[in-house]
Amino acid sequence: MTSGVYKRTEEMNTGKYKRTSEMKIGKYKRTEETKRKMSIAQTGKKKSEVIKRKMSETHKLLIGKKSSNWKGGITPLEYDRLHRWINRYFIKPDFCEICGKLAFGKMEISNKSGKLIRDINNFQWAHQGCHRKYDNKNGIIHEGLEIDV
């Protein structure tokens, strides 16, 4: 649509129409009274065995890797423990282990295999740019890694 072609009516400027940003799309809050009425309406209603079975089967399809919230099996606690372990036992050298140049700027611990396993030989210190290039070259994707500890 080209701007300026359509004439604006007076009622569009009077506030009869709201902008999309001002609408309560997905922001509607139910009052306590409405919640209570909904609760009363559902009280005593039991689901049939067929419905219960269908709900159970559907739920089984959404567990683990099939869930939309699946993060790849990494919990923040395991990830933090592994990084603390690496920092404790893996001393930072004076050079990048990928390009061999002196350590300047931000140095990161790079994962060689793409799997988070507790093995010193699986990690290397690298410049931030070298780390990114190494991962791209070797097809290492850090989102959704499995931890083998």
DSSP H helices, the chain, are: 10-13, 32-42, 49-61, 76-89, 128-138
Same domain assignment for residues 89 and 121: yes
| 87 falls within a domain | yes
Residue type, 1: M
Which pLDDT score is estimated for 77?
64
Task: Please identify, among 66, 87, 122, the residue that sits at the C-terminal boundary of a domain.
Answer: 66
Find the domain containing 46 and state its range: 32-66
Look at residue 146 in the predicted model and tell me its pLDDT.
Answer: 46
Six token digits for residue 9: 């009516």
- Do 83 and 140 lie in one domain? The reply is yes
Is the per-residue pLDDT at 101 higher than 60? yes
User: How does pLDDT run across 47-78, given as a tens digit for each residue?
Assistant: 999 999 999 999 888 887 787 777 666 666 67
Distances, alpha carbon 43 to alpha carbons 34, 50, 144, in Å: 14, 19, 42
For residue 11, pLDDT over 70 is answered with: no
CA distance 7 to 121: 70
Are 62 and 80 found together in one domain?
A: no
Judge if 142 and 89 occupy the same domain: yes
Q: Is residue 82 domain-shared with residue 134, that is, in the same domain?
A: yes
| Residues 59 and 91 occupy one common structural domain | no
Q: Of 43 and 113, which is predicted with more confidence?
A: 43
Q: Residue 99 is encoded by which pair of tokens?
A: 């390009």
φ, ψ of residue 37 to 5 degrees: the values are -60, -40
Is residue 48 in some structural domain? yes
Higher pLDDT, 101 or 21: 101
Write down the pTM of the prediction.
Answer: 0.43
pLDDT at 111: 82
Percent of the chain's residues with pLDDT above 70:
72
- Domain boundary among the residues 66, 91, 126 is at 66
Q: How many structural domains comprise the chain? A: 2
Going from the C-alpha of 77 to that of each of 74, 82, 83, the distances in angstroms are 8, 9, 10
Distance CA 124, CA 61 (A): 39
**Which H or E run contains 126?**
strand 123-127
Please indicate, yes or no, whether residues 40 and 101 belong to a single structural domain of this protein.
Answer: no
Q: Which of 17, 42, 66 is the last residue of a domain?
A: 66
Assigned domain for 19 exists: no
